[in-house]
Amino acid sequence: MSERAALPLDDAVELRLDPPLYDDSHRSWQESLRRFLEAEIAPHVGAWDEAGEVPVEAHRACAAFGLTGLGYPEAYGGCSEGVDALHHVITSLEWGLLGAGGVATALSTHAIGLPPVLAGGSEDLKARVAPRVISGDAIIGLAVTEPGAGSDVAGLATRAEADGDGFVLRGEKTYISGGMRADYLAVAVRTGDSGAGGVSLLLVDMDSPGITRSPLPKQGWWASDTASIHFDGARVPTANLLGPLHGGFPLIMRNFNTERLAMAATAIGSSRRCLADAVAWARERRTFGRRLADHQVIRHKLMDMYRQIAAAQAWLEQVAGRLRAGLPVAADIALLKVQASLLMEFCAREASQILGGASYIRGTAIERIYREVRVVAIGGGSEEILKDLAARQTGV
Ligand SMILES: Cc1cc2nc3c(=O)[nH]c(=O)nc-3n(C[C@H](O)[C@H](O)[C@H](O)COP(=O)(O)OP(=O)(O)OC[C@H]3O[C@@H](n4cnc5c(N)ncnc54)[C@H](O)[C@@H]3O)c2cc1C
């Protein structure tokens, strides 16, 4: 066996969808999704990142393929029959492998905005909103974070005062993904006393008067617009309440688990992309009369990436399997996200080092992934907050 054949590096960047965890439906979903992303999305990621947004046609293409409806009820145009946690994990891994986190985020805000509507909205509200989102005709996001309340979600101050048959909103949300273009936002508001027990969730129609939005330029995720949103007397009908009055906090927490697992899987996918590009470069590029891959220091870097990716992937699959079996996973999801963001940080650095100056030139996947590392370590629950959450969950 040649030395090269003995190194399953190409395998390391592939998803090995082995039985018994994965079945044919997972494999065919992964194959068709990859074909779709390669044909319809990959050729445009650089241009969309530079433009700072994805075109509306991309939302419609994702919807037509079935991405936007994955896991949602058939009654609203989705596909939930036979869909499990592994299909979602595969989806996030494939988005990560694409190496364009901003594009992935811009096309996926429904994954944090729509579940609270389906879990807590009235039948009328669900029937009005869900089909529009699933068909790609409307954009939905989630607005929890405020200038004065990020990690400390229960400290949020945006007020919703009951007034006749609705609520009047006053306050400010910040760092909201898709906030500039969203048709709907699920907004966490204070309807009661201080603390988690006074928080409600409202679905806000973003065309309502009394709402202003401002864009926030940022380090990475350029294709995903991020907004500050100011509510100054915006009216929201009582019928748009998601879940019970003062009962929004559990809905927000449930959402966080899904978001964190998706972010972890996407980070692992991006780490695979770093390894794939670094391997390709190291096999091609020659220095001091040899391939980069023939220098021992570079070989160690590649193997350090490989071993950490394989370990994170195994943990990801174990967590997804437990989730599918209905077992408790909150602490593992929290720590897995920490592990995955540190992995992505490590792989982005090592791949950049292997590519040298080429990795610093705008438009390459490594350059983009390097800019996306920090938001993965902070957004959806920072490393410090998630370790603390896991410590509480595990009874330390
Ligand atoms: C690009 C981007 C997109 C985002 N999209 C959305 C979105 O769509 N919707 C939404 O609601 N939010 C969104 N967020 C917000 C994100 O979830 C928050 O940034 C995150 O929860 C952290 O809150 P913060 O930035 O206010 O940091 P803070 O809460 O101010 O924390 C600052 C630092 O202090 C640390 N820290 C805080 N408390 C403790 C403690 N008790 N012990 C130890 N360390 C602590 C944190 O870990 C962090 O490192 C987005 C953020 C970004 C950057």
Residues 213 and 186 sit within 8 Å (Cβ to Cβ): no
User: Residue-wise over 46-60: b if at least 16 C-beta within 10 A, else e?
Assistant: bebbeeebbeeebbe
Residue 17: the pLDDT is 81
How many whole angstroms from 380 Cα to the centroid of ligand 1?
Answer: 7
pLDDT at 19: 78
The reported pLDDT for the residue numbered 2 is 38
> What is the per-residue pLDDT across 11-22, written as a single tens digit (0 to 9) for each?
556 667 887 889
SS (H, E, C) 204-248: EECCCCCEEEEECCCCCCCCCCEEEEEEEEEEEEHHHEECCCCCH
Convert the pLDDT of each residue in 233-289 to its tens digit. Answer: 999 999 999 999 999 999 999 899 999 999 999 999 999 999 999 999 999 999 999
Convert the pLDDT of each residue in 160-175 to its tens digit.
999 999 999 999 999 9
Residue 17: which residues within 8 A CB-CB, separation 6 or more? 26, 27, 30, 90
The pLDDT of residue 16 is 74
Which residue of 382, 388, 392 sits with most ligand 1 atoms within 8 Å of its CB, as the best mutation to test the pocket?
382
Q: Which residue has the higher pLDDT, 283 or 1?
A: 283
Pocket test for ligand 1, best of 338, 385, 389 (most atoms within 8 A of CB): 385
Could you report the per-residue pLDDT of 79-114, keeping only the tens digit for each?
A: 999 999 999 999 999 999 999 999 999 999 999 999
pLDDT band at 363 (very low <50, low <70, confident <90, very high): confident
Calculate mean pLDDT across residues 316-322. 95
Q: Which residue puts its alpha carbon closest to atom 19 of ligand 1?
A: 379
- Supply the pLDDT for residue 13: 60
Ligand 1 neighbours by CB, cut-off 6 Å = 141-145, 150-151, 175-177, 218, 221, 226, 375, 378-380, 382, 384-385
One-letter identity of residue 387: K
What pLDDT shows up at residue 7?
45
In the predicted model, is pLDDT for residue 206 greater than 80? yes
- Please give the distance, rounded to the nearest whole angstrom, from the Cα atom of residue 6 to the centre of ligand 1: 44
8 Å CB contact between 190 and 156: yes
What is the reported pLDDT for 11? 58
**CA-based max dimension of the chain:** 79
Per-residue model confidence (pLDDT) at position 20: 84
Q: 0.75 cut: is pTM over it?
A: yes
In this predicted structure, the answer to whether residue 60 has a pLDDT above a threshold of 60 is: yes
Atom of ligand 1 nearest to the CA of 375: 53
Residue nearest to atom 25 of ligand 1 (CA): 150
Nearest atom of ligand 1 to the alpha carbon of 151: 29
What is the reported pLDDT for 12?
56
- Choosing from 139, 378, 383, 389 the residue with most ligand 1 atoms within 8 A of its CB, the one to mutate for a pocket test is 378
Q: What is the mean pLDDT of residues 34-47?
A: 96
Q: What was the pLDDT predicted at 15? A: 67
Q: For a pocket test of ligand 1, which of 107, 175, 202 has the largest count of ligand atoms closer than 8 A to its C-beta?
A: 175
Residue 1 in this model has a pLDDT that exceeds 90: no
Mean pLDDT, the chain, integer: 95
The domains found in the chain, sorted by start residue, are 3-134 (1.10.540.10), 140-247 (2.40.110.10), 250-393 (1.20.140.10)
